[in-house]
A and B are shown apart, each in its own frame.
Chain A
């Protein structure tokens, strides 16, 4: 795919707000992108989108589930006072960057607004220094109280104003690249699978509410009962002052998760595949939790061997998240290669053995 096409796809996927629980807009975009790429497409009860591609192996075929969450973080109207809107969060938002942000209030009408903070002398002493906590911030629509109450109800989702930027030749910047960048990689993977054979049945899942409950991937997995699952999400990219043992440079490859959440044999398989394909990667240690859909997905039903692949992203949970297009493409290639090289008896050959191969 040309890099300009990739930018367009990323722009398309970051345009719908699709905050957790309010995901119809992004689900529809995914449905329209995946429709030509899968044999069957459905949306389940909680709102995850499931794309199914039939494998070429003899039935009963094992099932591979590849999942990236579609929901985005944002804010929600929690109160109205004198026409100004109190805010709470959907998912975790980095409060420090909120004052001055342009947002959209998704009430009965979509209204533009700005997030503002009171001047310091109006704040209690403990909130006068440093960043102002969310419970002192307001959204200002510029409308009179009566108008505000007409269009905005308590519980209205509030998204960051869309502002897709290309930075240099490889980086893009936008709200909700967590996790639309991974959704983009999964879409590219489905494109790559066109005309390629895979023995396994492949389920692509665009999961709901990861930022709130990790609920979409787990409930989808209960429905699909995959033999294995691959979770694609973002991880902390290196930025100014970020510690090198907790962040990964952008454009220099992806991370492969390692820890209690990740099946060691899957890690090994992906590692070997990445080396064979000359895709740069780093091991990302996830000793207890991965912080992704995998944490809940792994223990669904009888248990699901799970892998976590991450795309480095700078300024997570802010409206200016940045990723590298190269890393997105690498993720897609690796996923497609994994799906097409999975042998029909792969499950018979793996068991949980964490001893590193010599």
Chain B
């Protein structure tokens, strides 16, 4: 699965520009599903049919956070804004790659108070150009952080782990899938990082009876980090709540019981910020019970996000088990 994950995180696909990663996923899963389509916003929807079974929507988002160019000055320096939740603290000195392959570094204006974190407005991208004319980028071009995949053994580090690790979990689940208690819609969503837009329309279109998002969550196991119980390597996290939603208690119970029965380690997650595609599912149409399986991830939204491969493996196991376990809900259509 490491190879799968490595290939996924090395693709550039910021919010709204997901086609490269979508093409790759399509190629992989085409032989594994009964039907596949791309909707109006670019979500990839793949169906695993199961007659007379309730419909479950599983979603992982394809997009990653990135940058967009707003201005190129006469000297060829490019100003930018964030696409999704890019934090200034991670920018200065960072390297970026544009969709057309151009690379550059992030510089910053002279900073009188060097201990303060400058806002993005004070930063620029230098692609090595000497004038606007020979600058190979234009207003509206988008870039992602450039970082090689780092294999630390049990743990791996990369940009875009949020949420390519979720994408990897879905693909691996699909590869191992035998029988299912559900008709499954595997949704690879767009534009999660700019307000769960892809999942909003996908959920409306799929009209599922229940839904699960597979996404990353923060951890509380780093020096003076978030005050949070989730740790790396202690199993996938079953979300209780985040800033965007309260997960459906019936689904929480279903996940907890399934994990305990299968002896899969899990953690109960409370995230006091952030949100996932599950919120969009929950609020879709007349309401859909929704939950989240989270992959614990250190340094979320930094260009070096770390996950533990055992957590990833256990997330695949848990999801596989869940798909064989009828949900506790009465789900007549």
A residues contacting B by CB (< 8 A) are: 20-22, 44-46, 48, 76, 78-79, 86, 88, 90, 135, 153-155, 209, 212-213, 215-216, 218-220, 222-223
Contact = CB atoms under 8 A, between A and B. Distances in A.
A354 to B, nearest CB: 29
A241 to B, nearest CB: 31
Contacts of A22: 249
The residue among A22, A78, A88, A216 with the most chain B CB atoms within 10 A of its own CB is A78
A215 B287 contact: yes
Contact of A154 (B270, B283, B285): B270
Interface string B33-70: 00000000000000000000000000000000000000
B112 to A, nearest CB: 24
Nearest to B256: A153
Given A48-B287, A78-B229, 5 more contacts: A154-B240, A212-B245, A213-B246, A215-B282, A220-B287
A192 B221 CA distance: 57
Nearest to B209: A45
How large, as a class, is the contact surface on chain B? Answer: 20 to 34
5 contacts: A78-B228, A78-B270, A79-B270, A154-B240, A219-B283
Nearest to B329: A45
Interface in B258-303: 268, 270, 272, 279, 282-289
Top 7 closest pairs, chain A to chain B, by CB: A219-B287, A21-B246, A155-B240, A46-B287, A223-B286, A154-B268, A78-B270
A155 B287 contact: no
A277 B127 CA distance: 72
A220 B284 CA distance: 11
Nearest to B252: A155
Contact of A88 (B248, B249, B270, B284): B270
Given A155-B240, A213-B245, A88 B272 contact: yes
A220 B270 contact: no
User: Looking at chain A's contact residues, is the secondary structure mostly helix, strand, loop, or mixed?
Assistant: mixed
Given A155-B268, A155-B270, A90 B285 contact: no
Nearest to B240: A155
A154 B272 CA distance: 13
A205 to B, nearest CB: 12
B229 A79 contact: yes
Contacts of B229: 78-79, 154
A90 B240 CA distance: 11
Contacts of A220: 286-287
A48 B283 CA distance: 13
The majority secondary structure among interface residues of chain B is loop
Nearest to B331: A45
Contacts of A86: 227
A79 B246 contact: no
Contacts of A76: 240-241, 270
Nearest to A71: B246
B270 A45 contact: no
Nearest to A47: B287
Nearest to A296: B283
A312 to B, nearest CB: 28
Contacts of A219: 283-287
B83 to A, nearest CB: 25
Contacts of B252: 155
Contacts of B244: 213
A179 to B, nearest CB: 17
Given A46-B289, A155-B268, A219-B283, A209 B227 contact: no
A218 B227 contact: no
Contacts of B248: 21, 46
A45 B249 contact: no
Contacts of A46: 248, 282, 287-289
Contacts of B279: 213
Contacts of B286: 44-45, 219-220, 222-223
Contacts of B289: 45-46
A45 B287 contact: yes
Nearest to A136: B227
Contacts of B272: 78, 88
Given A44-B287, A155-B240, A218-B283, A135 B270 contact: no
A85 to B, nearest CB: 12
A209 B241 CA distance: 13
A90 B242 CA distance: 10
Nearest to A135: B227
Contacts of A48: 287
Contacts of A212: 245-246
Contacts of B249: 21-22
A212 B252 CA distance: 18
Nearest to B238: A155
Contacts of B284: 219
A155 B266 CA distance: 14
Nearest to B272: A88
A61 to B, nearest CB: 20
Given A86-B227, A154-B229, A154-B270, A20 B283 contact: no
Nearest to A155: B240
A79 B227 contact: yes
B227 to A, nearest CB: 6
A223 B207 CA distance: 13
Contacts of A44: 286-287
B156 to A, nearest CB: 27
A20 B148 CA distance: 43
- Which of B249, B252, B268, B286 has most chain A Cβ within 10 Å? B286
A220 B283 CA distance: 10
A288 B240 CA distance: 31
A20 B227 contact: no
Nearest to A222: B286
B246 A90 contact: yes
Nearest to A212: B246
Contacts of B285: 219, 222-223
Interface centre among B228, B229, B284, B287 (most CB of A within 10 A): B287
* Central interface residue in A45, A86, A90, by most chain B CB within 10 Å: A45
